[in-house]
Chain A
C-alpha cells in the first residue's frame, strides 16, 4: 500500500491507532459501531475532497478551489434534482451525473487556467474557489436549497452492517482513487510531474494535458463531496463546502502526503482524514470543553505531521 516501506510511512497509521486507543480509554463509548458509523458519516464527504486535492499535491501543485467547487456542485446537484422532479425515481439521478460532469468541467477549467495560462495553481485555484462561491450565492440568492426525497436520503438513513449507504459510496470512490493512483497512466504521470517536471516533459509525459486532467479529476472528487454533503445534510448552500480547504489539506499532510509533491497518495489521504475526524469526534466524546478544542486540534495536527512526514527527504526531493 505504500510507496516506500519504512517506519515513517507507517507513522500515520500508528498515530491513528494511538488516538483510537486514547479516546477509548477515556470513554469506552468511543469504540462502538454506532460511533464508528458517526465518524464515517462525518468523514465521507471530507474524504472525497482530500482524495481530490491529494492528486494535485502529489503533482507538486496545490488546489484551493475545493470550497467553491463543492458548494457549487452541491447546489447544481440540488437544482438539477429538483428540476427533474425532486425524487430519485422521477429522474433525479440525472442530477448525479450533472453534478459530476460539472465538477469535472470546473476542475478542468481550473487546471486550464493554471497550466495553459501559466498562473500559479495556488492563485488560480483560490480565485476559482471564490468564483465558485460567488456563483453559488448568485444561484441560490444566498438561500438554502433543500432536497426532501426519502429515496435519495437513504444514502444517510438506510444502513447496511451499521453504516449508512453514503459510507459505501465513499468507500467505492476511495478504491477507485487508489486504482487511478496506482494503475493508470494518469496516476503514474502525476508522480512523474511531482517528482521532476522537466524530466517528465523530457520523457514525453504530456505535462499540460496531465495537469488539466488532474484538476478535472480533483474537481470530479469535489463534486462527489458536494453530492455526499447533500446526502448528509439534505441541503446545499454557498457554505456547503466551508472549512474543507484547510481540513482537506491538513488531512493530506497529516496522512503523509508531502506538499512538495510525489510522496504519499490516496491511502495517506484516507488515514489523514480519519485522524482529523477521529480527533474532532473524540474531543467531544471525551468531553473536552469546546473553547480549547481548536487549540488541541491544531497541536495534535502539528504532532501528527512531525511524526508522520519524513522531513529529512525535503532536501533532495526538490
Chain B
C-alpha cells in the first residue's frame, strides 16, 4: 500500500538516500536496519513528511502522492511512534491522545471532557490498555507510555482516508524484556489494521518481529531478506559491509585480572528508598557488571559511589583507605573515580564545548598556572587521546555536538582516562550506538581493564554483561540477589533473567 520508487535525497553534496525502492503491504511488518548514518532516519522523515524527496515517486495504494508535512502525512494515514517519547507529562492521557484535536470535543467553547474520555477509552482498548484516561502521563511507566503513543497513532484510523502505515522508531530502546514481548504481541495483533515499519538497533528484535527486513547502508538498500531466511550475522555483515563475529564483545579476549586488594569495597551500604545492604568488591582490572531491571537500584549504587547519594547505612571504602570519605562528585573526581552517566546528551558531553574542553572538563586545575589555563597543553592532551581512542573528529577544537554518538562516547571515556581515574563507572555505555561504535566501546573497556582500571558497568544487554564482565551482580528491588563469576562458570541470559525476576 505504501511504495517508494527510486527515491533519492541529497543534503548539499551528501547523498543521504539513493534510489530507494521500498514497499510495505497491509498486514505486513517490515523491518528497517542499518548503522547510524546509513539513512534510516532520513528515510523515515521522508515517509513522515518531515523531509521531501528530491526525486523518485511515492505511491499510496498505487496512486502517486507526496507528503508536504507531517500533518499532511498523518491525514494520509502515516503515523509515527517516536523514539524520544512525545507525550506531554503534565497532561492527562486523553489530552495527549487528542492534542490538537480538541475542537472535535468542543461544546459552546468548552471542552467536553466526558466525551473525550469516552473516545480515549475506545482508543486505549485498541492497544489493550485499561487505564483511567484522566491520569497524567508522567505517572505512567515507559511501556504504558509507549502503548499510548501507539494508541495515538492508531487514532488516525478514524481520520485518514486510507489504511494506516505506522512507523515504529526504536520503540524498544526504553523497554524491559517483558515489555518488549508485550509490545510485539500487540503489534502482531494489530496487523490487520495497519502496515508497520519497524526500525531498531536490536537486530534480534527486528528478526523476531518483522516479516521482511530491509538493510540500509550508506543511503542505499543493500539487501532485502525474508524472515525465514534472516540470519543475524549475515544481516550484520551487510550492514557494516564486513562479517562480524557474533561474539562481538570478544568474550575470549577477557583476561583474568590479577588478584589484589579491592579498589572499591561497598559494604552493606544502603540509601533509603533506593537500595539496601548492597555489598560488592571491585579490583584493579576487574569488570564488574550490575544487572537488574529498571528501577532496581543499579544506577543509585553508582551514584552513591560517586558521592551523589548519601549512604544511610554501611560504608564504602575506596582504595583500602578507611578514612577516605567521598561526599561529592567533586571529591570523587579528585580521588580518581570517574562516572559516565547514561544520558549522554544530558549528562555525558557539553554539547556546546569543543572536544578538548570536554576532555579536560574534570581536571582543569591541572591545566592552569597562576589561575590561567594553558591551552597548548590542553590541546596537546586532547590530540593525544583523540589518537589513542581514534576519535573521529576534524580537530580537537570541533564542538562535541557535531560528533556522532560513538565518538561522543569516546570523548567521555577520554575525559576519565586522561585524568588517571582508577575506578570508572559506566552506565549503559553502548546505548544508542551502532554496531561499529559498540565494538569500539568494548575494546576500550577491555583496554582499560588490562590497564588495571576497575570498571563498574551497567550493561545495555545481558550479552554485554556476560561477554564483558568478570563478575556479575544481579540486583533486584535494591538488594543483591545473585552473583556470577564469569571466569568460573558459563553464564547464560536465562540465568540472569531468572535471577532478576
Direct contact of A and B (CB under 8 A): yes
Task: State the A residues within 8 Å of B (CB).
Answer: 3-4, 179, 182-185, 187-189, 191-192, 195-196, 198-206, 262-263, 316-317
Asked if B415 lies at the interface with its beta carbon under 8 angstroms from chain A, I say yes
Min CB gap A208→B, angstroms: 9
Question: Which residues of chain B come closer than 8 Å to A198, judged between CB atoms?
Answer: 341, 346-347
Min CB gap B324→A, angstroms: 15
> Are B330 and A195 in touch, CB under 8 angstroms?
no
Q: CB-CB contacts of B331-371 with A at 8 A, as 1s and 0s?
A: 01110000101000111111111000100011111001001
Asked if B373 lies at the interface with its beta carbon under 8 angstroms from chain A, I say yes
Asked if B205 lies at the interface with its beta carbon under 8 angstroms from chain A, I say no
Give the tally of cross-chain contacts (CB within 8 A): 82
Interface residues of B in 300-317 (CB under 8 A from A): 306, 308
> Are B329 and A192 in touch, CB under 8 angstroms?
no
> Are A196 and B347 in touch, CB under 8 angstroms?
yes
Partner of A185, one of B329, B346, B353, B365: B365
Asked if B401 lies at the interface with its beta carbon under 8 angstroms from chain A, I say yes
| Given A188-B357, A204-B362, A316-B401, residue A199 in contact with residue B368 (CB < 8 A) | no
> Are A202 and B351 in touch, CB under 8 angstroms?
no
Chain B: residues with Cβ within 8 Å of the partner, total of 32
Who on chain A is nearest to B348 by CB? A199
| Given A3-B352, A179-B372, residue A192 in contact with residue B346 (CB < 8 A) | no
Bound complex: CA A140 to CA B143 (Å): 65
Min CB gap B135→A, angstroms: 28
Asked if B170 lies at the interface with its beta carbon under 8 angstroms from chain A, I say no
Bound complex: CA A3 to CA B353 (Å): 8
Q: What is the predominant secondary structure among interface residues of chain A facing chain B?
A: helix
> Are A184 and B373 in touch, CB under 8 angstroms?
yes
> Are A202 and B346 in touch, CB under 8 angstroms?
no
Partner of B329, one of A183, A204, A316: A204
- Please name 8 further chain A to chain B contacts, defined as beta carbons within 8 Å, in addition to the given A200-B350, A203-B361, sorted by A numbering: A3-B352, A184-B371, A187-B373, A191-B352, A203-B333, A203-B415, A262-B352, A263-B352
| Given A179-B372, A184-B368, residue A317 in contact with residue B329 (CB < 8 A) | no
> Are B346 and A183 in touch, CB under 8 angstroms?
no
Bound complex: CA A169 to CA B362 (Å): 35
Asked if B399 lies at the interface with its beta carbon under 8 angstroms from chain A, I say yes
Bound complex: CA A3 to CA B375 (Å): 14
Who on chain A is nearest to B333 by CB? A204
Question: Which residues of chain B come closer than 8 Å to A202, judged between CB atoms?
Answer: 306, 308, 329, 339, 341, 347
What 4 A-B pairs are tightest by C-beta distance, nearest first? A204-B333, A203-B362, A195-B350, A185-B364
Partner of A183, one of B333, B345, B362, B373: B373
Partner of B330, one of A3, A187, A205: A205
Question: Which residues of chain A come closer than 8 Å to B352, judged between CB atoms?
Answer: 3, 191, 195, 262-263, 317
